[in-house]
Structure 1
Amino acid sequence: MTDKVGVLGKKAPQRTGVERVVNAPLPTVYGKFQAVGYLDHDRGDEQVALVHGDIGSENVLVRLHSECLTGDAFGSQHCECGDQLDAALRAVVKAGSGIVVYLRGHEGRGIGLLAKLRAMALQAEGLDTVEANLALGLPVDSRDYGVAAGIFHDLGVNSVRLMSNNPRKREALERHGIEVTETVPLLITPCESNITYLRTKRERLDHVLPHLDAVAHLS
């Protein structure tokens, strides 16, 4: 697998506080990846990019996936995170190349696991996901995508096709010098357990979720 500077084992000039630490093969049920591990010196987080195929430098299919233990590991239907991660990994393998950056420290849109569970408890009492964070005195969304841009710079990626429904991810990457040539929708069929959450994301967080109009019957 190669990148802009040749073999992925060679590091591009470091342009951010992100340091590439390790590159290891990772066979998965989806296909073969290289797990490229990074240390974010600014925040102290350990990050990983799952790289599939010969990614090149332009129009690379990518996903920025925020850590979600309940969705990614436990299959929670409170959100669509686990299904989106699954869909993104399948998509890059089907395309023949791409990158899924798994962003640790993004749990609960940046508030952490325990705070997210507290927010979920408030949602069970009738608050929406925005109201719940605010009721806890926490930001609605404190995620930063600078580390993802730093990873792309390190891998020699100049422009991407971004799998996301969140326009703020696109804006953040472009602020950090990564051109987004296309936004690729990553729409997951909703269920009764997450339809309210998804509608709140569309109505209050500006996520582009046109498929929700077809499921108006869900409570």
Structure 2
Amino acid sequence: MPTSTPAAVRTRVRIPLRFADGYSVTAEVVTFHGLVDGAEHIALVLGGRTGGTPLVRLHSECLTGDVFGSARCDCGPQLREAVARIDGAGGVLLYLRQEGRGIGLYNKLDAYALQDAGLDTYQANTALGLPEDARDYTPAVQMLAALGVAELDLLTNNPDKARQLRELGITVAETVPTGVHATPDNLRYLHAKAAHTHHTIALSDLAHVAG
């Protein structure tokens, strides 16, 4: 996805956030003009960072996990973890409108039906004629540039995020793994991410859930 003109900050507003477990925090929510894909991505600026390298997470929207608490993925717990860790360290959470690794909500639910028939999360996408992962992080880089972030510590288990950011000119000083949020319902999903796309998820951490 080619970058055209730089993005610019559109609005900044402080919003008190409260999660289902009672955790609360106030974030500065930032919107943007000029994002290359035209989507309504937002940034949550968290913590009182006065210096040092910011901690950043690129979090792809997951309606089922983030809003409804679906246990088929680990997205909701990762979002909750990321907000707390970034607030403690100081940094930014980019909330990217990339449902279903970029294939959209309806296609993701179609893929779930294929997973129920035995395919893994990546096989289901390709069976629908869709990319395994359609996400392009060019808009994320535009957002970071508009916020003045050129170097960061990246909170992720996904090596593709660090690779794309580096290729797009961001300095990733350190990759910081998230926790492993395993449930009986997402074990196949987590195993597929570790085995197929080399997410930094220790399969040994999943054994106690499987047992």
Common fold: TM-score over 0.5: yes
144, 167, 172: which one pairs with 1:175?
167
Which segments of 5 or more consecutive residues in structure 1 lack a partner in the other structure?
1-13
State the distance in 2 between where 1:115 and 1:164 align. 24
SS in 1 for 2:41: strand
Distance 1:114 1:17, change over 3 A: farther
Distance 2:17 2:66 in 1: 15
* Conservation of the 8 A alpha-carbon contact between 1:39 and 1:47: no
- In the alignment, structure 2 segments of 5+ residues that lack a partner are 19-23
User: Are residues 178 and 41 of structure 1, via their aligned partners in 2, closer, same or farther at CA, if it must alter by over 3 Å?
Assistant: closer
SS at match of 2:9: strand
Amino acid in the other structure paired with 2:166: E
**Quick one: which amino acid aligns to residue 46 of structure 2?**
H
Q: Does 1:215 align with 2:206?
A: yes
CA RMSD in angstroms, aligned pairs only: 1.9
SS across alignment from 1:31: strand
User: 1:19 is matched with which residue?
Assistant: 8
Q: Tell me the matched-pair count.
A: 203
Tell me, yes or no, if structure 1 residue 31 matches structure 2 residue 25.
yes
* Equivalence map 1:123-134=2 (5 Å): 123-134=115-126
2:95 maps to 102
- Sequence identity percentage: 43
Instruction: Give the Cα–Cα distance (whole angstroms) in 1 for the partners of residues 155 and 91 of structure 2.
Output: 11
Secondary structure of 2:148's aligned partner:
coil
Q: Deviations over 1:39-66 (max 9, x none)?
A: 4542210111000234467511111000
Contact map agreement 2:158 2:200 (CA 8 A) in 1: yes
Pairing 1:32-181 to 2, within 5 Å after superposition? 32-55=26-49, 58-95=52-89, 97-104=90-97, 106-181=98-173
What is the alpha-carbon distance in structure 1 between the residues aligned to residue 101 and residue 60 of structure 2? 8
Partner of 2:160, secondary structure, is: helix
1:38 Cα deviation (Å)?
1.6
Contact 1:58–1:159 (Cα < 8 Å) also in 2: no
Amino acid at match of 2:96: L
Task: State the TM-score, normalizing by the size of structure 2.
Answer: 0.90
Q: Label 1:108 to 1:184 Cα distance change in 2 as closer, same or farther (>3 A).
A: same
The verdict on how the C-alpha distance between 1:74 and 1:39 changes in structure 2, with shifts beyond 3 A counting, is: farther
1:195 counterpart = 2:187: yes
Counterparts of 1:111 and 1:117, CA distance in 2? 10
The offset of 1:214, in angstroms, is 3.2
Confirm or deny that 1:185 pairs with 2:177: yes
Aligned letter for 2:192? T
CA gap of 1:214–1:43, structure 2 versus 1, over 3 A, is: closer
Q: Is the 8 A contact 1:39 1:46 kept in 2?
A: no
Is residue 40–residue 46 contact of structure 1 (8 Å, CA) maintained in 2? no
Q: Determine the C-alpha separation between the residues in 1 that align with 2:123 and 2:82.
A: 29
1:10 equivalent in structure 2: none
- The whole-number CA distance in structure 1 between the counterparts of 2:46 and 2:182 is 28
